Amino acid sequence: MIILLFGPPGSGKGTQAELIKKECNINHISTGDIIREEVKKNTPLSKIIKTEIKNGKLINDKIIVDLIEKYIITNKKILLDGFPRTLEQAEFLSQKNFNIEYIINIKTEKQIIFKRIKYRILKNNKNYNILYNKPKIKNKDNITGEYLIKRPDDLFNIIDKRLKDYYNNLDKILNLYKNKIKIIEINGENNINKIFEEIKINIRKII
């Protein structure tokens, strides 16, 4: 069973995915995290991917499908975060007959996204926010104590491009799923706890 988690960059999707994972004992698969791990490998492929991420571009559909396919194990409960990002990726899921139960769509306005991303810092795929979700010790990861950094693709002009691409693709993807799969819309403009409360009410009905 797969639940798709949609939300623009800065919607708090990653933070919510971690909370859902704990609450529901579900496997969380984030394509962004898989890709960032791939970049660390320093292979010819990772160099291409690194440039694409830095420029705010999506990774080629074939590359991303090859990378993530092995993680989609159908007999497990999966929260799929960051995939599908294009119509072609959605069609890949359909062709494979993966059982998509629900879509959770976190909706957040552009001004709020820019404000959140401006203050976003992270380490090892763990996000913090200087305003809303501070680390216990300034600029350090709560668990490892490593220094928190800014994501290279969190620059203003790159975010603008990522958002345009996101909405452009989202329309096409939702069009494909409309009337076939239940889409749960979540207000992503509240604080972390409130967003999670809203998600919890809905996922209790699902899992």
- Work out whether 10 is an interface residue with ligand AMP (CB under 6 A): no
Tokens 């984030």 found at:
30
Question: Residue type at 13?
Answer: K
- Work out whether 35 is an interface residue with ligand AMP (CB under 6 A): yes
Specify burial of residue 33 (Cβ count, 10 A radius: 0-12, 13-18, 19+).
middle
Q: How far is the CB of 205 from ligand AMP (least distance, A)?
A: 26
- Work out whether 121 is an interface residue with ligand AMP (CB under 6 A): no
103 touches 127 (CB < 8 A) = no
Tell me the residue number closest to ligand AMP, measured at CB: 32
Q: How far is the CB of 165 from ligand AMP (least distance, A)?
A: 9
47 touches 38 (CB < 8 A) = no
In the complex with ligand AMP, the residue whose CB is nearer, 44 or 179, is 44
In the complex with ligand AMP, the residue whose CB is nearer, 26 or 30, is 30
User: What is the H or E stretch that residue 190 is in?
Assistant: none
- Work out whether 28 is an interface residue with ligand AMP (CB under 6 A): no
Q: How far is the CB of 196 from ligand AMP (least distance, A)?
A: 19
In the complex with ligand AMP, the residue whose CB is nearer, 52 or 91, is 52
Nearest Cα to Cα of residue 196 among 205, 184, 187: 187
- Work out whether 123 is an interface residue with ligand AMP (CB under 6 A): no
- Work out whether 31 is an interface residue with ligand AMP (CB under 6 A): yes
- Work out whether 52 is an interface residue with ligand AMP (CB under 6 A): yes
- Work out whether 8 is an interface residue with ligand AMP (CB under 6 A): no
> 163 phi and psi, to 5 degrees?
-65, -45
Site string for ligand AMP, 60-89 (x = CB under 6 A): ----x-----------------xx-x---x
Reduced to 3 states, what is the DSSP secondary structure of residue 18?
helix
Q: How many residues does the chain have?
A: 207
Task: Give the residues lining the site for ligand AMP (CB under 6 A).
Answer: 9, 31-32, 35, 52-53, 57-59, 64, 82-83, 85, 89, 153, 162
